[in-house]
A and B are shown apart, each in its own frame.
Chain A
Amino acid sequence: MLILKTLARCGALHGYGIAKYIRQVTEDVLRVEEGSLYPALQRMLIKGWVVAKWVQSGPKRRARIYRLTPAGRKQLSAEVSEFTRVMQAITRVIQPA
């Protein structure tokens, strides 16, 4: 969900960009092994939520950038609403009475 949201907000990004964005936005709270981003991206490629494209970045380097597809957008909103629903439930439970 985080990856999808990041792509939704920033448009096309490469893997490193996504990792960096998540790191900054969450202020290092959610520090996972950044490498695990890549298997997740591969999975989303297979599911058709994102598409990838190689772009030139600097003199001798290419970067693969990812962009959200309509299917990805739909998945994102589904996940967000599901997450909010769960969050609200949890909040109600932990709110002091």
Chain B
Amino acid sequence: MAWLSDIWRRLRFLLRRERFDRELEEELRFHLDMQDEENRANGMDADEARYAGKRQFGNETLLKERSREMWGWAWLETIGQDLKFAIRTLQKNPGFTATAVLTLALGIGANTAMFGVIHAVLLRPLPYPEPGELVRVAQKITNADVSIPEYEFWKEHSTAFSSAAGYRGGGERRLVLGTGQEWIRAMTVTTDFLRTLGINPALGRELNTEETHAGGPQAIILTDGLWRRNFGADPHVLGRAVTLNDASFTVVGVLPHGFWFPQSADALVPLRPTGGLADLGMNTQVIARLKAGLSLRQAEAEMATVTESFRSALAGHVARDYRGLMMFPFHDWLVGDVRLNLLLLFGATALLLLIACSNLASLLLTRLAGRGREVALRLALGCSRRRLLRQFLVENLLLAGMGMLAGLLGAHGLLGGLVSLIPFDLPASAPIRVDMTVMAFALAVALCTGFVFTLVPSFTAARLNLNEALKAAGRSAGTGAAGRRTRSFLVVSEVALSAGLLIAAGLLIQTLYRMHQERLGFTTQGLVTFETPLTADRHRNPAALSTFVSSILERLRALPGVRSVAAINLLPLTGWSNLPTQREGHPEQSVGGMEIRLVSPAYFEVMGIPMRRGRFSTGSDTGASPPVAVVNETLARRWWPQGDALGDRIIIGRFQGQDFPEIKDSPREVVGIAADTKTSTLKDPPRPTVYIPAAQASDGIAQGTHNMAWIVSTEGAAGIADGLRRAIAEIDSSQRVLQLRTMDEIVASTTATSRFDASLFGIFAGLALVLAAIGVYGLLSFSVAQRRQEIGIRMALGASRADVSKLVLRQGIALTIIGLGLGLAGALFLGRWLSSLLYGVRPSDPFSFVAVSLLLLSIGLIASYIPARRATKVDPMEALRYE
């Protein structure tokens, strides 16, 4: 209870302060008077008596303060004083204050924003109970998805899981609502999907085993949003039949509000094995929940056992190099691609903050040097060093606090923009925003910077010699060896950090350049593209597909401003579409994942892809004429190294002599060899590709075609969009135009991440370079001003102007070289983290290193040149008289 009465006393003291002060004053006065009288009685004269008394008594103000401290919240009061004083000092120096606050706001704001993203994506746990138990099950080594037989076998035999489920992105489906319709995203999932996640439906149940078997009843689970939007949040929605893509589904459940899954969807529908080829594809993602308390390693061991029994159970049907399944923590897998990129960006912003801070620290040092007299005077008047330190701390914390506020405001305002600029998907389970955690982070950063700023300069202030400082009236304190060493250290680290950032930026820019240098193999000029989804019942059979393609092509060609049009099932650089394919009569010449493209006759002409040999189909290759195909150069080289491709035949849907009945394509005669184009990615070489006329699609191929893309060659791309949309709507009002964009935009989207990284690092590196240059310049200017007298003496003793400027330049260059060396070493060491973001350039690329060295050296030289010139202008007479 002692502290209670303590607080009570201190509170009471607040009210009685004046009286206390008066009484203390009176008491001390009494003491001094008495002493005075006694001294005089002992024969001293009046003045002498007073001085002797005071000497014996000690520092009156300090004593009063100490007495007061016992009673009240003196530290609070003095902090109030410090604060007032700090505000006054900062107000007197608006230039300095603005620079410092802006620098800090930039550094703290950028870091806070990046931390906001990282917090939402990497740190926040997934919104499921015990998220650590969730794992992704995938192919060993390749991390590819899982086939249905594997999924079923593991689900039945594995003892490591308490629950497991498969899912696929189901794509968009048309939901019929009375008279209207809405396109919704339906995800296909197996039974136990919700049980695995640990989510209970708000209404009803999850899909059961009958519903997720071929031929079972069709069922649908609505998300909360869809339920509210289209079913009026009807609590009796269960059992209602809804129509999706002309098929009827019964509503069996509604998901809870706020349900989140990385693949966003409006509804869940059953994933049903077909019992055919599609089951064998590695196309099902599997998520499982480990039994409670089971470690990942124990589960891994169990996976290996199950792999063995799977191999023996399916003896003969499992490829020889089959490695089985493995697992990763689900969250790790989810953020896998993003993690490195985000951490790198965070690293870059942290470096920026460091550079900004070191620049600010040297600014503070300069300022402290200017305040040397003030500091010395205060020390002489009995101000304790602790108190002095606190004063600086309050000042710097005030600066950091203002910087933090501005930075937080900036981060809050810009986070949305930043997130939309980031070209890769951010799997965040909640909106990315400035929340309490992020604010706490900003506060921590601000506090750290405030403390560091205080500590670094005070190392020099603590050694401040009182007498020296007071004597050196005109000169400034904090300029001794310690001060200079601290500032040199700061400048060296700035140069080192900016060297690191410059190298990263250089490597990323080269990556971007290399990617743009890649030959696409097709033209992009004036090409506008869009996609239309194909529905199973209306388009996915050979005759309907052929009619659909030709009628749309015809309609589009008639539009004003359109030169020519073509169709393909999948545009280059937008994905994969592969089927097993074999050269007829050569089982050893098989490709498991041959890229198959359905194209209209004009495709090669519109895309500017030259034919190396033979011809492409004309309008005369129809469903009635003999089937033909065009292969790309890569395939031609692989299967017909002698160049005898034309006239030979290939079979889609056959692999190593084994037929896949669902594809049922007839052998096709190779009639042409087309030049290579980039297939799915810019970074990888072209894949073996077979082009077949859209008019000749077999049943199986037409069945598997979910999209058709249209390429329109225009005279000017502007204003064509509306015409395209109208034309499609006229042909089929239920048809949609998706992904309307130019070919250039498609190419640009594949380099978006590299461009983003390169430009961000480029900006950071540029800022760092400017800051480093200012740092070198500032240090040298300061030291030239300090050494005026010395320089004057040197010149008076016969040093030439060249000698003097060499003196200054040498200092600047030495600092730059040391920083550069450290920076290059660091970049060499840390470069491997970058390597997965690089393309066509190694992290130790000598060109970047040399270029960055030259750049930094010349910047260092320029930054030192001006102070060096100033040094040569020193007039020896004036410099010597200056003191």
Contact = CB atoms under 8 A, between A and B. Distances in A.
Interface of A: 14-16, 19-20, 31, 33-36, 38-39, 42-43, 46, 54, 57, 61-64
A64 B63 contact: no
B878 interface: no
Contact of B63 (A16, A20, A36, A61): A36
A33 B56 contact: yes
A35 B35 CA distance: 12
Q: Is the interface of B mostly helix, strand, loop or mixed?
A: helix
Interface in B1-31: 9, 23-24, 26-28, 30-31
Given A42-B67, A46-B9, A46-B70, A35 B26 contact: no
Contacts of B56: 31, 33-34
Given A39-B66, A46-B9, A62-B26, A34 B71 contact: no
A97 to B, nearest CB: 42
Most buried by A among B31, B34, B57, B69: B31
Chain B interface size band reads: 20 to 34
B30 A35 contact: no
Nearest 6 Cβ contacts at the A-B interface: A33-B58, A35-B58, A39-B66, A35-B63, A16-B34, A35-B57
Contacts of B70: 39, 42-43, 46
A57 B33 CA distance: 12
B9 A16 contact: no
30 contacts: A14-B27, A15-B27, A15-B30, A15-B31, A16-B30, A16-B34, A20-B38, A33-B57, A33-B59, A34-B31, A34-B35, A34-B57, A35-B28, A35-B57, A35-B60, A36-B66, A38-B28, A38-B63, A38-B67, A39-B67, A39-B69, A39-B70, A42-B67, A43-B70, A61-B33, A62-B26, A63-B27, A64-B23, A64-B26, A64-B30
A52 to B, nearest CB: 9
Given A39-B63, A43-B70, 15 more contacts: A14-B30, A15-B27, A15-B30, A33-B57, A34-B35, A34-B56, A36-B58, A39-B66, A42-B67, A42-B71, A46-B9, A54-B23, A57-B30, A61-B33, A62-B30
B30 A63 contact: yes
A63 B31 CA distance: 9
A35 B59 contact: yes
A54 B506 CA distance: 80
B33 to A, nearest CB: 8
Contacts of A19: 31
Contacts of A46: 9, 70-71
A16 B69 CA distance: 22
A16 B57 contact: no
Interface string B530-547: 000000000000000000
Interface in B32-55: 33-35, 38
B130 to A, nearest CB: 55
Contact of B35 (A16, A36, A57, A62): A16
A20 B39 CA distance: 12
Nearest to A37: B31
Given A39-B66, A39-B70, A46-B70, A34 B30 contact: no
Nearest to A17: B34
